Amino acid sequence: MTPQELASALARILTDIIASRGDAAEGVVVTEQDTQVERPKNREHGDWASNAAMKFAKRLGTNPRELATEIADRAAGIDGVAKAEIAGPGFINITLDAASAGETARRVVEQGEAYGRGDALAGQRINLEFVSANPTGPLHMGHTRWAALGDSTARVLRAAGADVTSEYYINDAGAQMDKFGRSVLAAALGEEAPEDAYPGEYIQDLGRRVAEQIPGLGELARTDRAAALEQAQELGYRLQLAEIQDSLERFNVHFDVFFSERTLHAAGPDGAPSPIEAAVDRLREQGHVFEEDGAIWVRTTDFGDDKDRVFTRGNGVYTYFAADAAYYLSKKDRGFGEKIYLLGADHHGYIGRLTAIAGAAGDDTETDITVLIGQLVNLNGARLSKRAGNIIELNDLLEWLGSDALRYWLARYPADSPLALDGEKVRSRSNDNPVFYVQYAHARTCAVDRNAATAGVRREDGFAPGLLTHETEAELLGKLQQYPGIVAGAAELREPHRIARYLEELAGAFHRWYDNCRVIPLREEPVGDLHRTRLWLNDAAGVVLRNGLDLLGVSAPERL
């Protein structure tokens, strides 16, 4: 029996009790959320505990302990429950019988990759935008946290049943691209860099590649500098974007859509207005656009923004806000109910303006948009890139630490907490390193499988869940039962770090079980059902460790 199944059973019991009270309980409704159970800190208090009686006693005009007694008497009759007892002011402590608890092992193994996946967010179409770094240079350490958290968040949301599109917004229009183009062209022609050029050897490398792939660039620059600049900028942009995409793939970060800002400025078919031009008309229809001093404004203060925002300046030039608005409307038009933005620590000002755009577009600002702000990462021992000069490149971090270690450490903390990491600890192979600790637990489950096969212990020859009575088996089974709820909670809260912390607890429970309970018979001891059933439990632990690591984009090695 899982915690969710137990919560459902308690909800039905409480609903029946309320119905028996007649008019005295009119209007009192029970949901499974009201009857969620928790693992007691003290194992002597049973497998699961509920405070449902204390939540509902006042509404039913009764004493919490009296209501708890009534609930417990009925809960004791639930199939798989060994006993239900009252503690303190009205807690209900429930102990499962060993066979019911042990059935979890078989359920996990049989469901395999599907175990932990659910439908809590079924029907939700979510657009999740993250990283979105300018395509004017390599990805660096400032992008790593959102790359790891964004991809893990997408995985967790999908595991909870949501239809998620992960999206990268390419800022490939505007002044920074012009600056980038001038920098690349100068490097390609062997000229002195412009005063405002992007620094770093990577620009020189791009210049060399551009010169190789456009043989007549020098002659073109002498006769038509603007055309040469356009070609150098476009090719340099394509080369740099390809490098960014390659770095993300090396980091095991996948995007469904790379959305070009240029498309927002481009005219539609048959001379139709561009998305940016159309956006102002759409916002005007909502009644939030006004004109002042020759400029077009959106009254974003109607939705909590600290000031109204300029859409088009008096000279007719569109602002960054205009592109943001058109981009939001594009997401809305593509059918996404919730738009999640994962932004860096220096983007707090965007919360108000993006929320205001959603409101001006007629969306519900409470449910249709979520803006998450991440804090900076400090990594001791990281070296500035020789190629980029003034940054720490993601590629260099991957070479030094590896994708698994970097992703795990970045995912195990809440996004809004500042993060200082010790590089040597991140890459260490010891139990003090949580990613090694969790991966080692998985590798151990695989080693047990190999040794069991050699010893003739096979799952298919027997399963007797009632034999799993050791205290470490009860602890491990309880942890396995919690996993679906952990995934659903992490998805609801958009907090993948909950998966990492759970995996560390699960790994600890597995290691303690491994130290106390043998799967392989000693010496001449015959293979029995206890050995076979423990192999089921071992494999169940391996399944959940593997599934959880996958949600973090981290591998589950079979050997370490």
> pLDDT tens digit string along 94-153?
998 888 889 999 999 999 999 999 999 999 999 999 999 999 999 999 899 999 999 999
Nearest to 283 by CA among 370, 352, 363: 363
Q: Which CATH superfamily is domain 141-169+255-373 in?
A: HUPs (3.40.50.620)
Q: pTM (2 decimals)?
A: 0.91
How many angstroms separate the CA atoms of 354 and 326, rounded? 11
In this structure, CATH architecture of domain 430-551:
Orthogonal Bundle (1.10)
The tens digit of pLDDT for each residue in 494-527 reads: 999 999 999 999 999 999 999 999 999 998 899 9
- pLDDT for residue 253 is more than 90: yes
Of the CA atoms within 13 Å of residue 350, those in its CB half-sphere come to 19
The continuous run of DSSP H or E covering 168 comes out as strand 163-170
d(CA 33, CA 23) in angstroms, rounded, equals 24
Average the pLDDT over 15-34 and give the result: 80
Q: Confidence class of residue 23 from pLDDT cuts 50, 70 and 90?
A: low
Rounded to 5 degrees, what are φ and ψ at 67? -65, -40
Query: Contact, 439 vs 451, CB < 8 A?
Result: no
**What would the mean pLDDT of 260-288 be, rounded to a whole number?**
92
Q: How much of the chain exceeds pLDDT 70, in percent? A: 99
DSSP helix/strand/coil, 319: coil
Q: What are phi and psi of 274, to 5 degrees?
A: -70, 160
Q: In this model, does residue 24 exceed pLDDT 70? A: no
pLDDT tier at 317, thresholds 50, 70, 90: confident
Closest C-alpha to 321, from 311, 313, 308: 311
pLDDT at 390: 74
What Rg do the C-alpha atoms of the chain give, in angstroms? Answer: 29
What percent of the chain has pLDDT above 90? 80
Statement: residue 58 has pLDDT above 90? no
Q: What are the distances in angstroms from CA 104 to CA 111, 161, 521, 547? A: 11, 22, 23, 16
Could you please report the per-residue DSSP string of 332-373? HHTT-SEEEEEE-GGGTHHHHHHHHHHHHTT--TTTSEEEEE
Is residue 374 over pLDDT 80? yes
The Cα–Cα gap between 558 and 560 comes to 7
Q: Which residues contact 387 (CB under 8 A, 6 or more apart)?
A: 138, 200, 201, 202, 205, 393
Instruction: Check if 3-96 and 141-169+255-373 are the same fold.
Output: no
The H or E element spanning position 163 is strand 163-170
H or E stretch including 4?
Answer: helix 3-20
Burial 118-130 (b: 16+ CB within 10 A, else e): bebbeebebbbbb
14-15-17-22 Cα dihedral, nearest 10 degrees: 150
What is the distance between the alpha carbons of residues 14 and 259, in angstroms, rounded to a whole number? Answer: 50
Can you tell me the distance from the alpha carbon of 490 to that of 157, in angstroms, rounded to the nearest whole number? 8
Q: Other CB atoms closer than 10 Å to residue 131's CB: what's the count?
A: 23
Confidence of residue 314 (pLDDT cuts 50, 70, 90): confident
Asked if residue 262 has pLDDT above 90, the reply is: yes
What is the overall mean pLDDT for the chain? 93
Q: Is 194 helix (H, G, I), strand (E, B) or coil?
A: coil
pLDDT number for residue 44: 78
**Residue 69, class by beta-carbon neighbours within 10 Å (0-12 exposed, 13-18 middle, 19+ buried)?**
middle
Give residue 538's Cα distance to chain centre: 27
Cβ atoms of residues 400 and 441 within 8 Å: no
Q: Does the pLDDT at position 75 exceed 70?
A: yes
The lowest-confidence range among 22-31, 463-472, 485-494 is 22-31
Across 471-489, average pLDDT? 95
- Sign of CA pseudo-dihedral 442, 443, 449, 451: negative
Lowest mean pLDDT among 102-116, 179-193, 323-337, 385-399: 385-399
Does residue 288 register a pLDDT over 70?
A: yes
How far the first Cα of the chain sits from its last, in Å, is 34
Give the DSSP letter string of 488-525: HHHHHHT-THHHHHHHHHHHHHHHHHHHH--SSPPTTP
Distance of CA 402 to the CA centre of its chain: 19
Task: Indicate the range of 87-101, 144-158, 246-260, 452-466 predicted with least confidence.
Answer: 87-101
Indicate the pLDDT class of residue 2, thresholds 50, 70 and 90: confident
Cα distance between residue 336 and residue 355, in whole Å: 15
Judged against a pLDDT cut of 70, whether residue 386 lies above it is answered with: no
Q: What is the dihedral of CA 423, 428, 434, 439, to 10 degrees?
A: 130
Token pair of 523 as six digits: 């010496």
Angle at CA of residue 239, ends 237 and 240, nearest 5°: 65
Q: Is the pLDDT of residue 388 over 80?
A: no
Domain ranges, ordered by start, for the chain: 3-96, 141-169+255-373, 175-250, 430-551
pLDDT at 339 over 80: yes
**Both tokens of residue 376?**
């900076």
> Band of the pLDDT at 179, cuts 50, 70, 90?
very high
List phi, psi (to 5°) of 15. Answer: -60, -40
Strand order in the sheet with 309-312: 289-292, 295-298, 309-312
**How far, in Å, CA of 252 to CA of 418, rounded?**
23
Phi, psi (rounded to 5 degrees) for 380 = -65, 135
Q: Class assignment of domain 3-96?
A: alpha beta
Helices (H), 160-274: 175-189, 201-213, 217-223, 225-250, 262-265
